[in-house]
């Protein structure tokens, strides 16, 4: 999970763990998340990414790495603009504030639709 706002990160982590997920992170920036993804054997089953990470940082480098690993993910973001271009326009996106039900359903959809 990639989320720069501590309270939101803690809440999303709690929701996922209550459903039995083993959450990797949360990571507050792309560099920390990329370091955790350096070992392909430790790749997660799915990802939840906030797009804007403060100080000009974005989740796009992490999204690119997850794509390379074949890991599906959703953007849970307050970013209403499609600033990621065509590469990310088809990715699932939840607009903040995200409800527990919507987030859990989106993650479930990612996992149930895996090849």
Domain boundaries in the chain? 6-101
For residue 27, report the phi and psi dihedrals to the nearest 5 degrees: -105, 135
pLDDT in tens, the chain (115 residues): 999 999 999 999 999 999 999 999 999 999 999 999 999 888 999 999 999 998 889 999 999 999 999 999 999 988 666 556 678 888 999 999 999 999 999 999 999 966 5
pTM for the full predicted model = 0.91
| CB-CB contact of 74 with 110 (8 Å) | yes
Residues 38, 39, 42, 43, CA torsion sign: positive
Class of domain 6-101: alpha beta
Q: How far apart are the C-alpha atoms of 73 and 64, rounded to whole Å?
A: 11
């Amino acid at each position: 999970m990639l989320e720069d706002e501590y309270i939101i990160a803690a809440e999303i982590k709690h929701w996922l763990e209550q459903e039995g997920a083993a959450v990797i992170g949360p990571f507050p920036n792309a560099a920390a998340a990329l370091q955790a993804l350096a070992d392909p054997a430790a790749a997660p089953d799915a990802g939840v990414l906030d797009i804007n990470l403060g100080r000009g940082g974005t989740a796009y480098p992490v999204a690119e790495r997850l794509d390379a690993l074949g890991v599906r993910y959703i953007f849970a973001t307050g970013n209403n603009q499609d600033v990621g271009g065509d590469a990310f326009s088809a990715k699932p996106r939840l607009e903040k504030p995200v409800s527990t039900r919507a987030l859990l359903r989106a993650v479930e959809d990612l996992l149930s639709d895996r090849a």
